[in-house]
Amino acid sequence: MNEDALNMNIRKFLKKVGITSQREIEAAIRNGLEAGKVSGKATLPISVRLQLPELGLDHLIEGKIDLE
């Protein structure tokens, strides 16, 4: 295994996840605000599931997003 290649590939994947996630979350919040489903002062629970089935990885990451 090439540690440097592994590290770079993980970083590339995480960059893609981060950018895509931010765009999707922002769009969902904007749509929720416009539709009246959420107020501008809400705290929204959020989670991400990280899975690598071949190796048995199934990790849930939970948090919250404060809109104010």
Residue 25: Cβ within 10 Å count: 13
Report pLDDT for 3: 97
The whole-angstrom separation of Cα 1 and Cα 3 is 6
3-state secondary structure of 30: helix
- pLDDT tens-digit series, residues 5-57: 999 999 999 999 999 999 999 999 999 999 999 999 999 999 999 999 999 99
Could you tell me the residue range of the domain that residue 33 belongs to?
3-66
Regarding pTM above 0.85, the answer is yes
**Domain total of the chain:** 1
Q: Alpha helices of the chain — where are they, by DSSP H?
A: 3-34
CB 45 within 8 A of CB 29: no
